[in-house]
Amino acid sequence: MSVPTPPAAPSPQQMPPPMPPAGVQGAEPKKNNVVALVALIVAAVGFIFACIPGALVVGWILLPIAFVLSIVSLFLKGDRKWMGIVGLIVSIIGTIVGFIVFFAVVLTAAGEALDEISSGETTVTQTTDEDAETATEEESAASADQGTRENPYPLASQISSDDWTVVVNSYTTDGNPVVSGANEFNEAAPAGSHYEVINYTVTYTGSESGLSAEVGIALVTSAGNVVNSYDALVLLTDPIGLDELYTGASATGSAAFLVPDGETALIRVRPGMLADEVFVQP
């Protein structure tokens, strides 16, 4: 009776891999949260640009993107979600900082604009003789309030701002003959009033060009009423009109004003739309 041959032992290559102990699962590799990393980087860069006044727009573009990416990263699988949380916080703080920098820039620009306007205050140079030029400092200080209704400047004074210089050349209290002789269609002054005519010269001293109409000329009567030339439109032979002038150019002309009889008037000059008013004694 033959004895069966036992099977050959399997080679190491044929042996199955060892099974892990019961209840132990194979560890899965950790996955990085790429979106959280990108959100953190974008938030950091946006924060930097938000602190630079000249690059605020870039910061305002990047920070909202970082905010959205940070929120999305918190709902994705993967480790390092802390980067998404940090990116979310940085994007919020960066937005606040960006608004603070923006308002600081706006306030600074507004302050500089006000400084420029204030630096363009009206100045007046009077035509004086040699004796007046040797006046003492006390006399100069006493005339500091000139130009008001109570202490107006004399005719021929140079009234200047940053853009204009105005000189009132002459003043005619009886302007009825001037108006009637300028154009036969001009209406005569109504009963109880008369025309007064001012001749003046405007010179543009700004950097580009300006219209002569930017200079304002009006009368303020002794009763406190303001009279403008357009209150009673008449045509004169030498109106200034709407001339456009470049630096150094001048225009000379006249304007007529309808004044109630029995009232005196002061000339109110504004050498530019934003300039201070100055009063001149006819």
Please name the residue ranges forming H helices in 122-175: 130-133, 137-142
Distance CA 67, CA 70 (A): 5
pLDDT value of residue 191: 93
DSSP state of 224: S
Just give the CATH number of 125-129+147-280: 2.60.40.1240
∠ CA 90-91-93, rounded to 5°: 65
Length of the chain in terms of residues written:
282
Instruction: Please list, in sequence order, all residues whose beta carbon lies within 8 angstroms of the beta carbon of residue 267, skipping any fewer than 6 positions away.
Output: 152, 168, 171, 198, 217, 218, 219, 279, 280, 281, 282
Distance CA 145, CA 255 (A): 28
- What does the domain layout of the chain look like in residue ranges? 31-119, 125-129+147-280
pLDDT value of residue 159: 92
Distance CA 9, CA 16 (A): 13
- Cβ atoms of 95 and 71 within 8 Å: the answer is no
Q: What is the mean pLDDT of the chain?
A: 80
Overall pTM surpassing 0.85 (yes/no): no
State the amino acid at position 260 in one-letter form. P
pLDDT value of residue 67: 87
Among the listed residues 217, 205, 201, the one whose alpha carbon sits nearest the alpha carbon of residue 251: 201
Distance CA 174, CA 188 (A): 13
| Tokens encoding 211 | 């219209």
**Per-residue pLDDT for the chain (282 aa), expressed as one digit of tens each?**
555 555 555 555 555 556 655 544 545 555 667 887 888 898 888 888 888 876 777 877 888 898 888 888 888 776 666 787 888 898 899 888 888 888 887 887 777 666 655 545 566 666 555 555 544 455 544 555 788 999 999 999 999 998 999 999 999 999 999 999 998 889 899 999 999 999 999 999 988 888 888 899 999 999 999 999 888 888 899 988 778 899 999 999 999 999 999 999 999 999 988 888 999 999
pLDDT value of residue 171: 94
Segment 222-230 long-range contacts (CB within 8 Å, at least 24 positions apart):
222/263, 222/264, 222/265, 223/260, 223/263, 225/260, 226/268, 227/257, 227/258, 227/259, 227/265, 228/257, 229/255, 229/256, 229/257
| Tokens encoding 280 | 């001149």
Instruction: Please list, in sequence order, all residues whose beta carbon lies within 8 angstroms of the beta carbon of residue 238, skipping any fewer than 6 positions away.
Output: 199, 252, 253, 254
Distance CA 50, CA 44 (A): 10
